[in-house]
């Protein structure tokens, strides 16, 4: 009844390691109307591009895995060595806003300029045009897909409508999963706004490997997300190692970048099968009227 996703021969599932390379930008965007910033949170975040990114890059090199790195312009421009270092190790670079802006809080025009600025920055610093976008906070809007397409991007990686690549109208979606996003488990600002304590690395390793195995068993694509200031922290590197170790030791697993996944999907028989509309349901106020109308009919 459910059509399985069709992979290349001898492949039964895919694995794509992604890094959201944001440091201060989410805090700056969130606090853009405030006069002060938590210095504690800021120093935590800065760790990411002082130590964390090097810990992650070294680990990836050790396992010979290429990651997909979504980098806000702010981080790329304040650390001029950053995009170059990622490109040198052959990692894919995707867009992640200028200042980690939440898309639904922007106008389409503002978002278009932000995407344009991102493309320009990556081309200027690496010579390669980016193919993908990951929405800050993983929040998209239907109109944002049009902006991505006009800018020549081929995929988005922010939603969870399948466990494998799929299409939302003409954009390819490379699906993420909250249970393998490190921010859910490790972010702890200490500012009094936290709603749960940081999870231990060992517990996280266990639960993430369960997710990997579950998706692989069903023939999907495992797409974990890590941050340099969280998983890049010395005592969380074992999470990255466990994932890469698992991927390396799993037969029939295609270790690839998000761009490679998107390109495969675009050229494969899956394209037609897993196509959905990105449109939201009709406004709910209208639905309720419709509902009540149909009830009173």
Residue in the structure block whose two tokens are 């939302």: 168
**CB proximity list for 167: less than 8 A, separation 6 or greater:** 173, 265, 271, 274, 275, 276
End-to-end CA separation in angstroms for the chain: 35
Q: Does 246 bind a copy of itself (CB under 8 A)?
A: no
**Closest to a copy of itself by CB, 55 or 270:** 55
The rounded radius of gyration (Å) of the Cα atoms in the chain is 20
Quote the tokens at residue 282.
């009709």
Query: What span, in angstroms and rounded, lies between the C-alpha atoms of 254 and 6?
Result: 13
Query: Which string of x and - marks every residue 262-281 that binds a copy of itself (by CB under 8 A)?
Result: --------------x-x-xx
Q: How many residues bind a copy of itself (CB under 8 A)?
A: 97
Query: Which string of x and - marks every residue 84-123 that binds a copy of itself (by CB under 8 A)?
Result: -x------------xx----x-----x--xx-xx------
Q: Does 162 bind a copy of itself (CB under 8 A)?
A: yes
Q: Which stretch binds a copy of itself (CB under 8 A): 147-155, 176-184, 242-250, 263-271?
A: 176-184
Q: Which stretch binds a copy of itself (CB under 8 A): 63-71, 124-132, 146-154, 184-192?
A: 184-192
Of 246, 226, 236, 249, nearest in space to 202 by CA: 236
Shortest distance (Å) from residue 222 CB to a copy of itself: 9
Query: What span, in angstroms and rounded, lies between the C-alpha atoms of 269 and 275?
Result: 11
Q: Does 20 bind a copy of itself (CB under 8 A)?
A: no
User: CB neighbours (10 Å) of residue 143?
Assistant: 13
- Please identify which residue in 63, 146, 149, 188 interacts with a copy of itself, judged by CB under 8 A: 188
Quote the tokens at residue 241.
């190692």
- Please identify which residue in 160, 169, 170, 273 interacts with a copy of itself, judged by CB under 8 A: 160
Q: Which stretch binds a copy of itself (CB under 8 A): 124-132, 210-218, 254-262, 263-271?
A: 210-218
User: What are the two backbone dihedrals, phi and then psi, of residue 198, each rounded to the nearest 5 degrees?
Assistant: -65, 140
- Please identify which residue in 84, 170, 210, 245 interacts with a copy of itself, judged by CB under 8 A: 210
Query: What span, in angstroms and rounded, lies between the C-alpha atoms of 168 and 262?
Result: 13
- Please identify which residue in 62, 84, 124, 161 interacts with a copy of itself, judged by CB under 8 A: 161
**Closest to a copy of itself by CB, 128 or 284:** 284
Which residues is 70 bridged to in the sheet? 20, 94
Shortest distance (Å) from residue 10 CB to a copy of itself: 21
Of 160, 46, 164, 147, nearest in space to 95 by CA: 147
Q: Which stretch binds a copy of itself (CB under 8 A): 122-130, 250-258, 261-269, 287-295?
A: 287-295
Within 61-80, the residues that bind a copy of itself by CB under 8 A are: 74
Of 202, 205, 182, nearest in space to 22 by CA: 182
Residue in the structure block whose two tokens are 């020549």: 152
């Amino acid at each position: 009844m459910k059509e399985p996703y069709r992979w290349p021969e001898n492949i039964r599932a895919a694995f794509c390691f992604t890094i959201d390379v944001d440091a201060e930008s989410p805090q700056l965007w969130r606090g853009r109307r405030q006069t002060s910033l938590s210095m504690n949170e800021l120093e935590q975040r800065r760790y990411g591009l002082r130590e964390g990114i090097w810990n992650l890059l070294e680990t990836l090199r050790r396992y010979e895995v290429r990651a997909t790195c979504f980098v806000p312009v702010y981080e790329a421009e304040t650390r001029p060595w950053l995009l170059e270092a990622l490109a040198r190790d052959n990692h894919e670079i995707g867009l992640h806003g200028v200042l980690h802006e939440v898309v639904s809080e922007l106008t389409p025009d503002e978002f278009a300029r932000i995407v344009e600025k991102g493309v320009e920055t990556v081309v200027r610093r690496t010579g390669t045009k980016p193919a993908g976008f990951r929405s800050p906070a993983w929040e998209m809007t239907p109109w944002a897909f049009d902006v991505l397409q006009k800018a020549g991007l081929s995929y988005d990686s922010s939603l969870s409508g399948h466990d494998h690549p799929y299409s939302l109208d003409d954009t390819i979606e490379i699906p993420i999963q909250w249970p393998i996003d490190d921010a859910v488990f490790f972010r702890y600002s200490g500012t009094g706004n936290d709603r749960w304590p940081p999870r231990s690395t060992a517990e996280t390793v266990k639960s993430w490997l369960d997710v990997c195995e579950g998706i692989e068993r069903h023939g999907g694509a495992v797409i974990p997300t890590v941050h340099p200031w969280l998983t890049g922290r010395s005592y969380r590197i074992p999470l990255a190692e466990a994932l890469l170790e698992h991927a390396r030791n799993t037969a029939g697993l295609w270790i690839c970048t998000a761009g490679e996944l998107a390109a495969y999907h675009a050229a494969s028989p899956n394209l037609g099968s897993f196509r959905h509309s990105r449109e939201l349901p009709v406004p709910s106020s209208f639905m309720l009227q419709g509902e009540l109308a149909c009830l009173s009919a």
